[in-house]
């Protein structure tokens, strides 16, 4: 089953940045990475998929029309886009609880389990305004995970994390995918992170989707995902080697 389907998704801003004709399919159980430099359109694509910006084209999630069935889709979807939506005067626990109130049957135990998974349980009674950038990012992940969604969309999820935090987030994604079958759409400008986390990769460059491959196939033809990215960008630009 296709969890996400986009058809000619287009959203251009006044500076002519955004996305152009993005047609993308994310299958159930995929961990798909959107790989591209800053400004390539990754965040805009995710916002359009989540209806956070109005875009031309069509989006289906779980086979449902994004605009007609938005509430049903969101009950099955978690997301972290750009900076986490955190209330500084609330504690970590209160922040997660407030977001969890939008979903049925989220218990205190599940909130604490989610905070434990992102290594914030010991700070559950601390106000989020005192958190470091990395801790705020972990709290944003807890908010995205707490409803136990079938689809999770993460925009640069390891931004601001130290090495241990990066590894921990990677392991959480892998565990949710392998044990619970959660489908992920993840963006990153770091090829190495996509390589270690995702089973499929979509390359975005200058607002367009220019390549799509399984990570396995990309690595069969290139030493690393970084080399794969450079090769498809070079092909897109028509660079000539002299």
Count of helix runs (H) and strand runs (E) in the chain: 9, 10
Query: Any idea what DSSP says for residue 121?
Result: G
Instruction: Give the integer Cα–Cα distance in Å for 13 and 59.
Output: 19
Residue 141 CB burial class (10 angstroms; 0-12, 13-18, ≥19) = buried
Residue 179 token pair: 């044990």
Q: How many CB atoms lie within 10 A of CB 56?
A: 13
CA-based radius of gyration for the chain? 18
- Give pLDDT, residue 16: 85
Q: Render each residue's pLDDT in the chain as its tens digit; 242 residues.
A: 899 999 999 999 988 899 999 999 999 999 999 999 999 999 999 999 999 999 999 999 999 999 999 999 999 999 999 877 899 999 999 999 999 988 888 899 999 999 998 999 999 999 999 998 889 989 999 999 999 999 999 999 988 788 888 888 898 899 899 999 999 999 999 999 999 999 999 999 999 999 999 999 999 999 999 999 999 999 887 764 43
- Which residue in the block uniquely carries the two structure tokens 């400004």? 39
Q: Kindly report the pTM of this predicted structure.
A: 0.92
Instruction: Give the integer Cα–Cα distance in Å for 73 and 141.
Output: 19
From 147, 118, 145, 149, select the one nearest 131 (Cα to Cα). Answer: 118
- Give pLDDT, residue 15: 87
Residue 231 CB burial class (10 angstroms; 0-12, 13-18, ≥19) = middle
Residue 148 CB burial class (10 angstroms; 0-12, 13-18, ≥19) = middle
- Given strand 56-61, what is the order of strands in its sheet? 18-27, 2-12, 56-61, 64-65
DSSP codes joined into one string, 165-217: HHHHHHHHHHHHHHHH--EEEEEES-HHHHHHH-SEEEEEETTEEEEEEEHHH
Instruction: Give the integer Cα–Cα distance in Å for 66 and 69.
Output: 6
């Amino acid at each position: 089953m296709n969890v996400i389907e986009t058809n000619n998704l287009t959203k251009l801003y006044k500076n002519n940045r955004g996305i152009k004709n993005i047609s993308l399919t994310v299958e159930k159980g995929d961990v798909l990475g959107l790989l591209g430099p800053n400004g390539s359109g990754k965040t805009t694509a995710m916002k359009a998929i989540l209806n956070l910006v109005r875009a031309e084209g069509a989006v289906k999630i779980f086979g449902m029309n994004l605009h007609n069935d938005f509430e049903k889709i969101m009950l099955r979807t978690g997301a972290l886009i750009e900076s986490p939506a955190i209330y500084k005067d609330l504690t970590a626990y209160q922040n997660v609880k407030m977001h969890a109130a939008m979903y049925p049957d989220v218990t205190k135990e599940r909130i604490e389990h989610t905070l434990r998974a992102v290594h914030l349980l010991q700070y559950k009674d601390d106000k989020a305004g005192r958190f470091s950038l990395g801790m705020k990012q972990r709290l944003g992940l807890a908010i995205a995970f707490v409803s136990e969604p079938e689809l999770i969309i993460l925009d640069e999820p390891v931004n601001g994390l130290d090495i241990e935090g990066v590894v921990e987030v990677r392991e959480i994604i892998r565990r949710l995918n392998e044990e619970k079958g959660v489908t992920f759409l993840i963006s990153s400008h770091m090829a190495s992170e996509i390589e270690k986390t995702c089973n499929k990769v979509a390359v975005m460059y200058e607002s367009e989707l220019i390549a799509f491959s399984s990570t396995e196939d990309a690595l069969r033809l290139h030493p690393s995902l970084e080399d794969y990215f450079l090769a498809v960008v070079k092909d897109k630009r028509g660079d000539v080697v002299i």
